[in-house]
Amino acid sequence: MKVALMQPYFFPYIGYYQLMKSVDEFVIFDQAQYIRRGWINRNRILNSHKETVYITVPVCKTSRETKIKDIKINNVINWEEKLFNQLLYYKNAPNYIKVIQLLEDCFLYTDDSLSLFNTNLLKKTTSLLGIETNITILSEKFPNITSADTADEWGIKVSKALNGTTYINAIGGRKFYDVKKYGKNGINIKFLKPNLLPYQQFKDFIPGLSIIDLLMFNDVSIISEMLNNYELLS
């Protein structure tokens, strides 16, 4: 079994979905500490005045040590309206109406937990993209896995709990993982490096934007091909 463990990002870029598709079990890492100004409550789209702009889900104030699973969305702020206004830049994109309908569907989810909200939108987008990987939440499936001695041991613990033989991580974390440690625990570790193929945007191509941007300009059949365009490195 191939396993991945990732924090629940807000409409992440295609590399995140490539990681999801590359494994049998994708575990939402909600036991990690919430990091401000990260990808959990924001992502990047195009804007007419700048190269990119952030779309953001506001969260309630908490202590620095708060775990992702305990972060609450600040729904006092009408953030959905602001987000849709930001997306008006895409009104001439070929799939604008379909993407807006997807977001409206995602925003019907009423739980104020940011982690559960993001998990719901990840499930809806993976379903749209034909990704059949099983998605589970760490704190729900393995409530006893609440800590690790080092950052790279979370993957070992989760892989063992699932009887996983291969653990796949995003390429950005490569320098933090002890490959020998995984080998000693009977786990083969790989790192996914996405190939961000260019596609037609309104202006010069900017890679690594939210899946929202990709969906605006590309049909699902094209994105399905892009999902397979990555390398697995040791």
The parent domain of residue 47 ranges over 2-233
- Name the stretches of the chain with pLDDT < 70: none
HEC secondary structure over 128-192: HHCCCCEEEEHHHHCCCCCCCCCCCHHHHHHHHHCCCCEEEEEHHHHHHCCHHHHHHCCCEEEEE
Q: Which residues pair with 167 in a beta bridge?
A: 3, 189
Total domain count, the chain: 1
Residue 21 pLDDT: 98
Alpha-carbon dihedral sign for residues 190, 132, 30, 187: negative
Residue 57 pLDDT: 97
Residue 37 pLDDT: 86
Residue 22 pLDDT: 98
Residue 48 pLDDT: 85
